Amino acid sequence: MKLIESLKKKKFLLFNIFFTLYISINLVGGERGLISYFDKKNTYEKLIEEEKVLTAKLKDLDHKISLINKNDPDYLLIGTDAGIYESFDLAETWKYHKNLPITQFYKVAVNNAYPFYHIFGGTQDNGSAGGPSATDEIEGISNKHWYKTLFADGHQSATDPEFNNLIYAETQQGGLHRIDLVTGEQTFIQPQAGINEPHERFNWDAPIIVSPHDPSLSLIHI
C-alpha cells in the first residue's frame, strides 16, 4: 500500500515537472515563444529604422508613400510623383511599373477639341503634359496618347478658346510659354520689366487667365 502511494506521489511529481518544463520551453522557445517574439520585434524595429534611412536616401524621388513588408525585410514599395517603384532587394535595384500612368498634377485645363476634348496640366517635377479625354480605340486611353507640352516643374496650364492647337503652360516663378501643339513651337511670353523699371516678381505657381474677349491676350498674376 505504501509502495502504491509512493509511486502515485512520484508520478504526480514527474507529471508536474514535465508539465512545467513543457510550458517553460514553449513559453520561452518555439514559434510563439518569448525568444521568437523578441526576435520578430527586433527585426521589425530594425526594418522601421532601415526604412527611415532609406527614406532619407531616397528623398530625391520626392516620394509620397512608402510601404514595407514585415514578413520580407528586403521588400520596399515607393509611391512618387512619377509613379510606383518596387524593390525586392532593399533598394539595391528598382522596378518601375510603366503600366501605371501616375503623376501628380497641380491644376488642369481643357480645350474645345472635337470629338474628344484634351486635358492639360502641370505636374510636380515632370513638366507639363496633355492628353485626350477619350479615344475611339478599343483599348481606351493609354500611355501613348499622353504627350509633353513643356519642360521643368509644371504649374498652371490654360487653353485658347478659339484655336485648339494653342495652349499656355508655365514653369515655376511665372515662366509663361505659348505652345503650338501642331508645330511644337514654344514661345516664351513672360512679361518683362521695361528699361529702368524694377525687376518683376512672380508667384511660384502663378495663375494664368486667358481673355474670353480677346484670346490673344493672356494675363499672369504676380
Please spell the DSSP secondary structure of 53-76, one letter per residue: HHHHHTGGG--SEEEEETTEEEEE
Neighbour order of strands in the sheet with 83-87: 65-69, 72-80, 83-87, 95-96
- pTM for this one? 0.62
Is residue 179 a contact partner of residue 163, using CB atoms and an 8 Å limit?
Answer: no
User: CA 78, CA 70: separation in Å to the nearest integer?
Assistant: 15
In angstroms, how far is the first alpha carbon of the chain from the final one?
A: 107
Dihedral sign from CA coordinates of 193, 199, 200, 202 = positive
Is residue 169 a contact partner of residue 180, using CB atoms and an 8 Å limit?
Answer: no
List beta partners, residue 164: none
Is residue 219 a contact partner of residue 170, using CB atoms and an 8 Å limit?
Answer: no
Dihedral sign from CA coordinates of 199, 203, 204, 206 = negative
Is residue 133 a contact partner of residue 118, using CB atoms and an 8 Å limit?
Answer: yes
> What is the bridge-based pairing of β-strands 83-87 and 72-80?
antiparallel
Q: Which three three-digit cell numbers place residue 110?
A: 481643357
Alpha helix positions (H), the chain = 2-28, 34-57
b/e map of 67-106 (b: 16 or more CB within 10 Å)? ebeeeeeebbebbbbbbbbebeebbeeeeeeeeeeebbbe
User: CA 90, CA 92: separation in Å to the nearest integer?
Assistant: 6
Note down pLDDT in tens along the chain; length 222 residues: 544 455 455 555 655 665 565 656 655 555 555 556 666 677 777 777 777 776 665 555 555 556 677 788 888 888 888 788 999 988 889 999 988 878 888 889 999 999 999 999 999 888 999 999 999 999 899 888 999 999 888 889 999 988 999 999 999 888 999 999 999 999 999 988 889 998 888 888 888 888 877 776 655 544
